[in-house]
Structure 1
Amino acid sequence: MLVYKDRLFNNIILNPYNKGRRKLKVITAYASPAFLHHVLYGLNEIEIEMYIGMTKYQPITVWDHKEYLKMASETNRLSVNYFYGERPVHSKIIYWEQEGLFASELAFVGSANFTRNGYVNYSEIMAEADPIEIGNIFNDIGEYIDFKHPNIEEYITFTYQSDLKSSEKEGSGLGKIVKEKEYKHFDFPLTIKSDRRKIHQKSGLNWGQRPDRESNQAYIPIPKEVYTTDFFPDKKMQFNLITDDGESFTCVVAQENNKALETPEDNSILGKYFRKRLNVPLGSFVRVEDLDRYGRHHVTIYKINNETYFMDFS
């Protein structure tokens, strides 16, 4: 039996995929949308069936739930199930189903949750297991409910569910929470540093305003006082950015000197978001007068944890 103590992502996820396996089943105590996004979009033929075991006793957040739904809709390669029974499931199991010419399934058990900490940051152990026995576990999976169930709130309580139902006019519930808890935060100006009455002509919110570019492409400029700290994860490490109006995006730090906050799958996502919020036609140049009319020239970003951030542009 092989035991893996390091390079878990490579050994448990990437290598089996590169050898042709495509259908992955996961039982995990905890999961993170950012890590799931990295796997799902980085391995563009993988299908993932995930079971999260601690959701009744340590509920997931409503924005994590929304991210799972969004990824499932975008890829059609994801299903997620939440445990609602009496005894929480703290197991961590990986099971690659038999496909095509494979002689057998492939299974691992150990200590790694399906998160970036579990597979990258922390010291965890995963060991090969009998695939027949593991397959039987999935055949008799127990009290889990599909994340698309129409009455899911009768089975699962999501953290901050009621808070996020408050209207933008009344103020975001999560926004109040991050401010009350005094999470670390910075302001991110959307105008030029040397002259706050000027906006970037071909960068920032107007990154796409140049020939042969998608005109909505945009990024949030990261000030030097931020990119010289450990406020954000390392470059290209994905994290979830939740907004005060209830949207969420998978983001990365990018570009030279880590100067930009981008959406990795499509750089126009942020540009479309800001244009809609500023009431600027899609594809149009964003002017400083548009920010004047809206009443704000910066966003404030709060760090909830290494994989979750909150952006206030209220």
Structure 2
Amino acid sequence: MLYTEDLEELIFHRHQMHETDELIVLSGYLGPRPVARLEELPFNSTVIYGMYGSEGIKPTLHNSLTSIQGSAANLNIFYSQLPVHSKCYAWRRRGEIIHALVGSANFSVNGLTTPFREVLAETTFDTFRPLNAYIQHVLNNSISCLEIGTERIIESIINAEFCSMSLLGRDGEVQNAAGLNWGQNPNNHTTPNDAYIALRTQHIRDYPHLFQPKQINPQHLDNRGRMQRHNDSIEIIWDDGVTMEGLLEGSQPVNGMIYPKQISSFPAKAELGEYIRTRIGVPLGQPVRRHHLERYGRTDIQVSLLGDGVYKFDFSV
């Protein structure tokens, strides 16, 4: 069986079909949100970050994963010292694989929730033994996320791209009913704290590796019968360690391709607005103004890519 949609729910409910006591996740790249969700499962889970061996890991993602490791009693997170790009999900009983999925989907929100971009396929019984041996070989060459030294963390931030995204409108003020004040327009179908961060064409031109073009969704048509484009889910890790799920939404043409035009929180649009208001000391439900941001100490957010659909948002002063 081949799967192209709802991969996250597939992974987190597959154990209901099999008598298992362990889940092994081997993934080239990781996102903190699905890793943290493993604590909900009624058995032990092991997660291996595969590309650590060649790329190291960025400090923000490492700190998020070690925080999850410290709070989850039924989870072990490892970093492979071999460069491994595989994506394997194996359910075991008493150390033997009883069911497995392999394919292209990384264990991240972006890798598991974008329909038709990634696939996972069931493996057959005759692959269980060699797959188990392969996973054990990677594990034997892995270290706990709690054991690594700072040299591998520092190495991974060399040549990183950092995009400064302004929270102000083009007139130099926070917009009255857009951006951080998106929800302040009573005529919109929004709540007062709804917010987004504008993704401008210059950001895309200057940092082409940070933001990817939007893909067409073949199953969704607009009211004119035209195929709509995906709003890709991402994971956001803030400089203070807070994580949230985000959405690259809207559409704008850049260099002959269609890109998203804003970043919002997901599924609640107000999560982003509430978070920013709390950090800068503006009461919830009230509009944000430039002087609030200046009093806080900055009017922009520095954005960098940590991995597959995982971003760092730095709003520190």
- Indicate if the aligned counterparts of 1:190 and 1:204 stay in contact, CA closer than 8 A: yes
Higher relative strand content: 2
Alignment of 1:1-314 (within 5 A): 14=10, 21=17, 25-28=23-26, 30-33=28-31, 36=34, 49-52=45-48, 54=50, 57=53, 59-68=56-65, 79-82=75-78, 90=84, 92-96=87-91, 105-108=98-101, 114=107, 127-130=123-126, 133=129, 153=146, 155-157=147-149, 177=157, 181=159, 183=161, 185-193=162-170, 195-197=171-173, 199-210=174-185, 213-226=190-203, 231-233=210-212, 234=214, 235-257=230-252, 258-303=260-305, 307-313=309-315, 314=317
Q: Give SS of 2:184's match.
A: coil
CA distance in 2, matches of 1:18, 1:112: 16
C-alpha distance after superposition, 1:1-44 (max 9, x if no partner): x7x6xx6667897499599649882331533207847x969xx9
- Indicate if the aligned counterparts of 1:188 and 1:301 stay in contact, CA closer than 8 A: yes
C-alpha distance after superposition, 1:218-272 (max 9, x if no partner): 1111223335766413353233434444544432211354322112133223223
C-alpha distance after superposition, 1:163-187 (max 9, x if no partner): 7xxxxxxxxx99xx57xx362x444
Shift of 1:122: 7.7
Tell me the TM-score normalized by structure 2: 0.59
- Indicate if the aligned counterparts of 2:89 and 2:100 stay in contact, CA closer than 8 A: yes
Can you give the 5+ residue segments of structure 1 that lack an aligned partner in the other structure? 99-103, 164-172
Q: Give SS of 1:269's match.
A: helix
Shift of 1:156: 3.7
Q: In structure 1, what is the equivalent of residue 220 of structure 2?
A: none
CA RMSD of aligned residues (A): 5.3
Q: 1:97 to 1:252 in 2, by over 3 A?
A: same
Shift of 1:310: 3.6
Q: Give SS of 1:290's match.
A: helix
Q: Give SS of 1:208's match.
A: helix
CA distance in 1, matches of 2:132, 2:238: 42
Structure number with higher relative contact order (C-alpha < 8 Å, ≥ 6 residues apart) = 2
- Paired AA for residue 282 in structure 1: L
Q: 1:281 to 1:159 in 2, by over 3 A?
A: farther
- Paired AA for residue 281 in structure 1: P
- Paired AA for residue 172 in structure 2: R
CA distance in 1, matches of 2:193, 2:151: 34
Percent of pairs with identical residues = 20
Q: Give SS of 1:28's match.
A: strand
